[in-house]
Structure 1
Amino acid sequence: MAIAQIATGAVPEDNLARVQKAIGDAASSGARIVVLPEASLVRFGVSPAPFAESLDGPWARAIQETAVQLGVVVLVGTFTPADDGRVRNTILVTGEHIHEGYDKIHLYDAYGFSESADVQPGNTPFVFEVDGITIGVATCYDVRFPELFRALADRGAEVILVTAHWGAGDGKVDAWRLLNQARAVDSTTWIVAVDQADARTAGVDEPDGPRFGVGHSLVVTPMGVVQHELGAAEERLTVELDIGAVQKARKVIPVLANRRLGTLAGKA
């Protein structure tokens, strides 16, 4: 599996070229799955509606063609039209046998930012399978909601891929790390969390307003240990995950099996 920590700008065509190069570099390293950040079509701070297109549109189909040609499965952040004039914050999952999308469920209406002004939320947890391994998908602010990660584990997820364009600020990198570690422990899954790089390190112009993209993409074990962490700049990492570690963790600390929410529901 490859992490492609890139920074994208305001022009979809330029971002497509950056994404395709990252996919090619990752495939050359032997990766089967390539994970790129949220909002790779256009970065946050740019109104997404003029650029949103369906998964049958040219941007998404170009990613699919690249994935199929290179024999990989790609996850990358785009925006698709919603039914109320807004868009959906969609993670495209594409390759030879799949071309689907996960619509971000939890919208970033926090720290003075209102994602819901432009984005309609999704409502369905999303898993897919690659080479017999079940993989869940979450996006950025989703990582603050443990119930989603447990729902993905209940659907069979052994790995959860978190794509992000994480807001910058005091303590935000610490929160990013902590939350991904916590979700690994909650769900006893591998967490592979991929953020956009800090745009300033990549020479990408940022719009006025809140700054997004801090880097520090992570690989976290099912026991919550940070196995790999990148820096702030654009960077790529290829890793091999020990899927057997999931069952080992669930035997040692069976938090999913030990849940008693049904018993406790309705009690004060």
Structure 2
Amino acid sequence: MATAQSPVTHDPRQNGREIRALMQKAHDAGARLIHFPEGAISGYQVSAAPPWEALRDELERTAALAKSLSLWTILGSEHRLTTPNRPHNSLYVISDSGNVVARYDKRLCSHNEITHHYSPGNTPTVFSIDDFTFGCALCIEINFPELFLEYERLGVDCLLLSAYSQNAIFGIMAQGHAAANNYWFSVSVAAQFAKTLPAGVIGPDGYWISQCRTDAATDLCFAHLDRKSPAFDIALNKARPWRKTAREGRIYRDNWVFDPRSETKTRF
């Protein structure tokens, strides 16, 4: 898979050109999937709507290229709703046949987003490629661990987080979610924020596998998802199954003790 660090402007035409150039590079490098930032093609603009006709044209061009390259493309964009409803802040899941097979709508929007510009979504999104299951999240949703526990319960192998942020703590929190839930975690961020939050891919052990450049450059980084990798044996084959058992709780309930020295909490 390829994780993109693309510039996000308010011009869908410029964004579309950058996106398709990166798609070609990812394909040439052998990627099956490419993951883009929040608002990658529409721009991230909570004060005005994007030019919808230009955006639709750029989306169709991008979907056509996904089909031509046989490249799954996960793409951040506003999604227009029926007037007077506000748009969703979304991730389109475009398959290697060029079809939109799913869409994730940001559920936990910021105060500014929900007050002025976006309608929230209400469901998780999962999809599968080559026997791997992927889940989607957007930007400040990184702050809500319940979303990432939900995706673990849904059997996700890799979480795709798209962001438009320069907050370095997002990368640290992504490492924590990856390590706690033992799945791969792709963080795609706008190129202009790369100095403090470069895009990258984290392994199911919580450590970065690869990251893009930090000089605000358009870039790609790559990761090979391999369940048989010895580097991830503990995370995938020991930690994740054990934590599932632990979260169910029966192993603890079956071993509760009823002892006066246990019940009294105010003595040594």
- TM-score normalised according to structure 1 size: 0.81
1:63 aligns with 2:62: yes
Task: Return the match for 2:245 from 239, 247, 257.
Answer: 257
Please state whether the residue corresponding to 2:245 is helix, strand or coil: coil
Task: Return the match for 1:115 from 113, 116, 127.
Answer: 113
| Counterpart position of 2:199 | 217
Q: Distance in 1 between matches of 2:175 and 2:52?
A: 32
Structure 2 matches for 1:1-268, cutoff 5 A? 1-45=1-45, 47-52=47-52, 57-83=56-82, 84-97=84-97, 98-99=99-100, 100-109=102-111, 114-116=112-114, 117-166=116-165, 168=166, 172-173=167-168, 175-198=169-192, 214-230=196-212, 231-233=214-216, 234-244=218-228, 248-253=234-239, 254-260=242-248
Q: Distance in 2 between matches of 1:27 and 1:165?
A: 24
Q: Distance in 2 between matches of 1:51 and 1:180?
A: 32
Q: Contact 2:11 / 2:42 at 8 angstroms: preserved in 1?
A: yes
Counterparts in 2 of 1:132 and 1:176: CA distance versus 1, 3 Å:
same
Q: Distance in 1 between matches of 2:121 and 2:233?
A: 30
C-alpha deviation, 1:13, in angstroms = 1.2
Q: Unaligned stretches of 5+ in structure 1?
A: 202-212
Give me the CA root mean square deviation: 2.6
C-alpha deviation, 1:41, in angstroms = 2.3
C-alpha deviation, 1:146, in angstroms = 1.3
Of 5-14 and 243-252, more deviation after overlay is shown by: 243-252
Instruction: Note the alpha carbon deviations across 1:153-195, whole angstroms, 9 max, x for none.
Output: 22121111111111x3xxx21x122110111023211101111
Q: Contact 1:48 / 1:87 at 8 angstroms: preserved in 2?
A: no
Q: Contact 1:87 / 1:118 at 8 angstroms: preserved in 2?
A: yes
Q: How many residue pairs get matched?
A: 241
Q: Distance in 2 between matches of 1:16 and 1:32?
A: 19
| Counterpart position of 1:207 | none
Counterparts in 2 of 1:214 and 1:118: CA distance versus 1, 3 Å:
farther
C-alpha deviation, 1:82, in angstroms = 3.2
| Counterpart position of 2:257 | none
Q: For 1:255, give the aligned amino acid.
A: R
Counterparts in 2 of 1:50 and 1:250: CA distance versus 1, 3 Å:
closer
C-alpha deviation, 1:105, in angstroms = 1.1
Q: Distance in 2 between matches of 1:52 and 1:241?
A: 36
Alignment identity in percent? 25
| Counterpart position of 2:263 | none
Q: Distance in 1 between matches of 2:174 and 2:198?
A: 11
C-alpha deviation, 1:107, in angstroms = 0.9
Q: Unaligned stretches of 5+ in structure 2?
A: 254-268
Please state whether the residue corresponding to 1:123 is helix, strand or coil: coil
Counterparts in 2 of 1:240 and 1:22: CA distance versus 1, 3 Å:
same
Relative to its length, the structure with more helix (as a share) is: 2
Q: Contact 1:10 / 1:46 at 8 angstroms: preserved in 2?
A: no
C-alpha deviation, 1:18, in angstroms = 1.1
Q: Contact 1:51 / 1:79 at 8 angstroms: preserved in 2?
A: no
